[in-house]
A and B are shown apart, each in its own frame.
Chain A
Amino acid sequence: MLGSVSRGASRSAAGFLSLVLVAWASGGCRRETPAANESGLSAKKPVTLILGGYTTPREVYGKAILPAFQKEWQGTSGQRVQFRESYQGSSAQARAIVGGFEADVAVLSLEGDIDKIAQAGLITHDWKAAPHGGMVSTSIVVLAVRPGNPKKILDWPDLTRPGLNVLTPDPKTSGGAQWNINAMYGAALKGFAGVRKDDRAAAKDFLKRVFRNVSIMDKGARESITTFEKGVGDVAITYENEILIGRQAGQKYDYVVPRSTILIENPVALVDRYVDQHGVRAAAEAFVTFLHGPQAQSLYARYGLRPVEESVAKENASKLPAVQDLWKIDYLGGWKKVSQDLYGPEGAFTQVFSELGSKR
């Protein structure tokens, strides 16, 4: 009986405990792991790559890209490659890798999360020196609406309409949610949200009016769109590819591309420390190169992502709607500045909920 009481309390602490345990366990592993054997000796033995990914590209990797690379690697090196895959929210995945989840390749939603792994000393090479600045796929922030768009949602300002029910995930846990907020904040600053251009206070006020209409913040982009699929909400702010995949799976919704939106760029990096520990550098490097190549790029396109390789992007350009004003995170000063200006302790978004209060 008494145990039940402490169970309730300790659950809230579970996050830390798991962190402590993971850190401890990984410390132990590091000491035990034998020196890497990366010579030709292992060439004929199957090699295992561990993929630490965020949630939305699960289908394109699991069903298309990994099998394609297996075939390619078998052909060029005669070695079989197996994958172990893990998918969770981008920030959570980055923290897991820092905490000791030994992913050889990190496939994350945003640059800042790869930086966290680099800051922990696990990525030692200049990952942005890779082709396309280390990015393998892109998408844009769009608005999912009910079939036929019954609420007539056409652009960002419509989200502030009183009584509308808007879905977006929690930016504390979801990379996608941060992309959404960046898109709205930037579009407002650029004068596309019905508020004065280049006015930070007005842009914050716009966010405030949108979030007055948000009654559910799920933990990740996938959970958020699943809630929308259950019939909850009038509009969901989300990745374009999330909608296209949902449609491929038979879901029925339309989407609206705002006049101004942000280009979401998803980075990939191999994690030097773990790659060398596992002795799989050759395969991991080939895999990352493969992701930038034309075959993987057209697979991304098939699963609703926008390719980074120009030739493939051109081929697929007609399939996806064009954007009037498409901009990158640099417009807001890059991720480092954004995490301060928007999500820091005094950030614009942090203030939104303090100021909205409990009664709306």
Chain B
Amino acid sequence: MSAARPRRAEPLRRPWGLWGLRGAVLTYLALMIAVPLLAVIERGFSAGLRAFWRELANPIAFDALKLTVAAAAITAAVNLVLGTLTAYVLARYRFPGRGVFDSLVDMPFAIPTLVTGVMLVVLYGPSGALGSWFHAKGISIIFARPGIVLALLFVTYPFVIRSVQPVLLEAERYEEEAAFTLGANRWTNFRRIVLPAILPAAGSGALLSFARALGEFGSIVVVAGNIPRRTLTSPVYVFGEVEAHNERGASAMSVVLLALSFGLLLLLDWRQRRRAEVLGG
């Protein structure tokens, strides 16, 4: 064993090999992610901080941001609850069609979001199969705020499920089995044993779906109606400002979306590291 140890460490001592790989990866990361992000940030602040705030204080921009954050928060909350339950059902129950269901979960990632939007309009639009029923009751879904949340729920569907499922599948079953033998029913078992174990993963999934929802464009632009101060979300606002040659306004909004996403990412990273320390320690 002691003889094997230095040999295993040897590759680390070859600095050029290591730097070559590390350099290539870092250059790739910089070119693909960091430089474009910096370009956006630079544009956003190009006319100074005051101009930056003025762009955001514009009521249309501000309302778009409020709507986007609220819709993303609702989406994340719904995903947190229903995604966790879905993952639990998929991991702990055996029923016919489970395999098909399990692979259906990933479909939202494979469908172009624009198609998602068109599909929702066909289904929930005023003359659609489900929409006409709601329409008769005076509830509008498409071209109104509920449509935005509906589209976001579809697009972010897999996040919580795919975060929680592996944790459930890898978890040791003995605690659950012990609880059963002590007379706990399924619900008590889920609440007292399973939930505490999967909550961090569910939280991560919810944060991811929040971040993803902030930036969603393709489906929203079709289903929302895009009326300023009512159904115009930030990403669609950004698109409009780009088209209208107001790059500063578009960049300012992009910087805010970027900051929100990046902040969440840091939060997520910090949580995961702390969890690893707790588990490792």
- B59, B127, B235: the one within 8 Å of A12 (CB): B235
Q: How far is the CA of A247 from the CA of B59 in the complex (A)?
A: 40
Report whether B229 and A16 are in contact in the complex, using a CB–CB cutoff of 8 Å.
Answer: no
Chain A residues whose C-beta falls within 8 Å of the C-beta of B227 in the assembled complex: 214-217, 353
B241 interface hit (Cβ, 8 Å): yes
Q: How far is the CA of A24 from the CA of B226 in the complex (A)?
A: 32
Nearest B-chain residue to A3, judged by Cβ: B33
A172 interface hit (Cβ, 8 Å): yes
Chain A residues whose C-beta falls within 8 Å of the C-beta of B234 in the assembled complex: 12
Chain A residues whose C-beta falls within 8 Å of the C-beta of B36 in the assembled complex: 10, 13, 16-17, 20
Report whether B214 and A8 are in contact in the complex, using a CB–CB cutoff of 8 Å.
Answer: yes
A16-B40, A16-B254 given; A343·B212 CB < 8 A: no
Residue-wise interface mask of B (215-226) relative to A, using a CB-CB cutoff of 8 A (1 in contact, 0 not) = 111000100011
Chain A residues whose C-beta falls within 8 Å of the C-beta of B217 in the assembled complex: 11-12
A4 interface hit (Cβ, 8 Å): yes
Within 30-70 of B, Cβ neighbours of A (below 8 Å) are at 33, 36-37, 39-40, 43, 58-60, 63
Report whether A353 and B60 are in contact in the complex, using a CB–CB cutoff of 8 Å.
Answer: yes
Within 170-226 of A, Cβ neighbours of B (below 8 Å) are at 170, 172-173, 214-219
User: How many residues does chain B have at the interface if contact means C-beta atoms less than 8 Å apart?
Assistant: 59
A231 interface hit (Cβ, 8 Å): yes
Q: How far is the CA of A95 from the CA of B204 in the complex (A)?
A: 40
- B39, B58, B262: the one within 8 Å of A20 (CB): B39
Report whether A216 and B39 are in contact in the complex, using a CB–CB cutoff of 8 Å.
Answer: no
Q: How far is the CA of A215 from the CA of B143 in the complex (A)?
A: 7
A217-B227, A232-B143 given; A9·B262 CB < 8 A: yes
Within 1-40 of A, Cβ neighbours of B (below 8 Å) are at 1-2, 4-13, 15-17, 19-20
Q: How far is the CA of A20 from the CA of B33 in the complex (A)?
A: 14
Q: How far is the CA of A95 from the CA of B216 in the complex (A)?
A: 24
28 residue pairs of the A-B complex, CB under 8 angstroms, read: A1-B208, A2-B268, A5-B262, A5-B264, A5-B265, A6-B33, A6-B261, A8-B213, A8-B215, A9-B214, A9-B257, A12-B257, A16-B39, A16-B40, A16-B242, A16-B247, A17-B39, A91-B243, A91-B244, A95-B245, A170-B240, A173-B243, A216-B225, A218-B226, A219-B221, A231-B125, A353-B227, A356-B229
A residues apposed to B, CB below 8 Å? 1-2, 4-13, 15-17, 19-20, 89, 91-92, 95, 170, 172-173, 214-219, 230-232, 343, 353-354, 356-358, 360
